Amino acid sequence: MINRDDFLVQVIGLFDETDPNEITLNTEFRSLDEWSSLNGMSLIAMSSDEYAVKLTPADLQKVNTFEELAKLIEEKSNN
């Protein structure tokens, strides 16, 4: 189980041009002004780094919100 508070702190660290208050678990990350494919890479890196779960760009394509991303990482880590 991923601790959602820790997860949110990690995610906020990856979006340094966005007001942290704007980022919640329900935020659709692609709708953030600063979103680019580089942020996508950093999310994949965070998953690998913090949770030892390797995501592909295609995996990331399937999710929209940070909560969905956390669930995807949990799902993959249980497999």
Partner 1 sequence: MASIKYIEYYLPVFELTNEELARRFPNWSVEKISQKTGINVRRITRSDEFASDLAIHAAEKLFENSDISKEEIDFILYCTQSPDYFLPTTACIIQQRLGLPTSVGALDYNLGCSGYVYGLALANGLINSGISKKLLLITAETYSKFIHPQDKGNLTLFGDAASASLITNDGESNMAIQNFVFGTDGNGADSLIVKNGGMKNFRAIGNDLYNDEDFVSNDDYLFMNGGEIFAFTSRAIPELIHTLLLKSNLKLEDVDYFVFHQANKYMLNHIRKKLGIPEEKFLLFLESCGNTVSSTIPIVLNEMKKQQRFKKGDKILLAGFGVGLSWAGTILEY
Single-letter code of the amino acid located at 72? L
Q: Which is nearer to partner 1, 27 or 39 (CB)?
A: 39
Q: Does the protein bind partner 1 through residue 34 (CB under 8 A)?
A: yes
Dihedral pair phi/psi, residue 43, rounded to 5°: -70, -40
Question: How many residues bind to partner 1 according to rule CB under 8 A?
Answer: 22
Q: Decide whether 5 or 16 has the Cβ nearer to partner 1.
A: 16
Give yes or no for a contact between 23 and 72, defined as CB atoms under 8 angstroms apart.
no
Note whether 63 and 69 are within 8 A (CB).
yes
Does 78 contact partner 1 by CB under 8 A? no
From candidates 36, 62, 71, 77, binder to partner 1 by CB under 8 A: 36
CA-nearest of 25, 22, 8 to 68 is 25
Residues at the site binding partner 1, with contacts judged by CB under 8 A: 13-14, 16, 34, 36-38, 40-45, 47-49, 54-58, 60
